Amino acid sequence: MLRLYNSLTRSKKIFSPIHKGVVNMYSCGPTVYDHVHIGNLRSFIVDDLLQRVLRNVEKYKVNWVMNITDIDDKMISQIDKDYHDKEPMQALGELADKYTDIFIADIETVGIRRSDITKLPRATDHIDQMQALIKKLLLEKIAYISDGSIYFSLENYQKSGKKYGQLVNVDYDAQARLTDDQDQKEGASDFVLWKAKKAGEPYWEFEWLDSQYPGRPGWHIECSAMSTEYLGQPFDIHTGGVDLKFPHHENEIAQCGGLQANFYIHNEFLQTEGEKMSKSLGNITTLSAMPEPLAFRFAVLQAHYRSQMDFGAQILQSATDRLHTLSSYADQMLFAWKDQLPEKDDSSMTKKFIDQFNLAITDDLNTPAALSAFSHIEGKVYSHETLKALEYVESILGVGLLSAKPLSSEEKALISDYDKSRAHKQYMESDNIREKLKVDHKLQISDTQHGPLVNRIR
């Protein structure tokens, strides 16, 4: 039974999907104008963890949709900088192509499989759906036109009996400050649905009541339109970083008429040396600077997703060390020869391990407690049952625990020779083989009650 902290109710709730056996989940994706920074990667890793738990623990089919924002202020200022010699629409496409490919490559290195994301829709491929939604809001008089732009009227929305502020207690002043000074809004907290065309910017035609309003969509409308297009309304789970709660998700809900999704899951920030990790602060650590991206994923899992995560070189190093230790333990079972290990774990520690892991991971994705379950088995218990348990746990963690390069036939022969020489008490010979395995093959051999067990040296 999976319990998740739902930002809508501000409490942990038992999760059950709207349609039996299927979970429809939407995650706010990247703006593809630059490399994704590791603060955002934390958010995507948490999304991935959640969809893995839904699939592999709860056994649901998961439709996971993540949008690609390929039109907004950041995209436009980037094409002004890097593609000023190109026609704006073409420049936008090229920039989006480039950084979408880089994004997919980056998330794959931290264990997020592209194949697990059911749809990765681009905003600019869904202008029709956004315009249809805006027209619906215009008809309902919840949207209005001012100076060529179209805005969402909070006053009219609330007058229609709908609640704004489902995820947060709204700070209207803060929202008013967030918007552009040039906006021609009627209410300070109104937000833009469609921005009037500016010279030199990419734009789309928009016809309403025989008038033309060329321009581009606001950011919030894309997620309302695309989540509805692919997952219906309401759908099961909406995820994102805690900074998206307000105004982005609050506005998405309002644009959807007050009911968009049943669960909103928000993950906390990643901080470096106590500072919020964001581009505006300039303290970006890039994924390319990390020798083992999966160790970053492991570091992310060592923190609970609703806690702020401190990140720095030392934290990455300790996560790397821990992951290496666990991987070495996994190697020892993975590399054991046929019949070397017992089928069952008679100590019942493997069962304890799985039980504690499941209990923790289904309690609002409590990864720190789930990871501590390894203490029941690590370095102590070796069996086929235990190896199967590791395979299961790896299907949820996705940290590459069982991805060591298989033993070559030469390595296998050396290990076999080692075992024979030990059996014949030829210790000089066995020591020589041990040394050769270590130096030439980066393999460590350990003598155990099950005979020699081997792991790759990391």
Binding site for Zn ion (CB under 5 A): 28, 223
Which of residues 243 and 417 has its CB atom nearest to Zn ion in the complex? Answer: 243
Q: What's the DSSP call for residue 87? A: -
The nearest distance, CB 69 to Zn ion, in angstroms, is: 8
Q: Find, among 373, 395, 402, the residue nearest to 57 by Cα.
A: 395
**Number of helices (H), then strands (E), in the chain:** 15, 17
Tokens standing for residue 353: 């391990």
Pairwise CA distance, residues 176 & 12, whole Å? 31
Report how far residue 320's alpha carbon sits from residue 186's, in angstroms, rounded to the nearest whole number: 53
CB of 371 to Zn ion, least distance (A): 30
Give the alpha-carbon dihedral of 385, 386, 389, 390, to 10 degrees.
Answer: -140
Q: How far is the CB of 324 from Zn ion (least distance, A)?
A: 37
Least distance between Zn ion and beta carbon 262 (Å): 17
Please compute Rg for the chain using Cα positions.
26
Q: Which amino acid is at 271?
A: Q
What is the H or E stretch that residue 50 is in? helix 38-52
* Closest separation in Å from C-beta 227 to Zn ion: 8
Residue placing its CB nearer to Zn ion in the complex, 52 or 238:
238
Beta bridge partners of 65: 26, 119
Q: Which residues contact 282 (CB under 8 A, 6 or more apart)?
A: none
Check: CB of residue 27 under 8 Å from CB of residue 231.
no
Structure tokens given for 245? 């709660």
Considering beta carbons, is residue 91 or 253 the nearer one to Zn ion?
Answer: 253
Instruction: Give the helix/strand (H/E) hosting 313.
Output: helix 313-334
Tokens at 411, concatenated: 């390595």
Q: How far apart are CA 336 and CA 325, in angstroms?
A: 17
Q: Which is nearer to Zn ion, 47 or 411 (CB)?
A: 47
Widest distance between CA atoms in the chain: 95
Give the shortest CB-252-to-Zn ion separation in angstroms.
6
Q: Which residues contact 330 (CB under 8 A, 6 or more apart)?
A: 387, 390, 394, 401, 402, 404
Q: Give the other-Cβ count within 10 Å of 10's Cβ.
A: 9
Closest distance between Zn ion and the C-beta of residue 71, in Å?
Answer: 13
Beta carbon of residue 297, minimum distance to Zn ion (angstroms, whole number): 23
Torsion of CA 164, 167, 172, 173, to 10 degrees: -170
Q: At which residue do the structure tokens 């210790």 appear?
A: 427
**Residue 250 or 394 with smaller CB distance to Zn ion:** 250
The C-alpha atoms of residue 101 and residue 384 are separated, in whole angstroms, by 39
Give min distance, CB of 406 to Zn ion, in A.
Answer: 42
Nearer to Zn ion, 28 or 309 (CB): 28
Token output for 81? 């900088």
φ, ψ of residue 322 in degrees (nearest 5): -65, -45
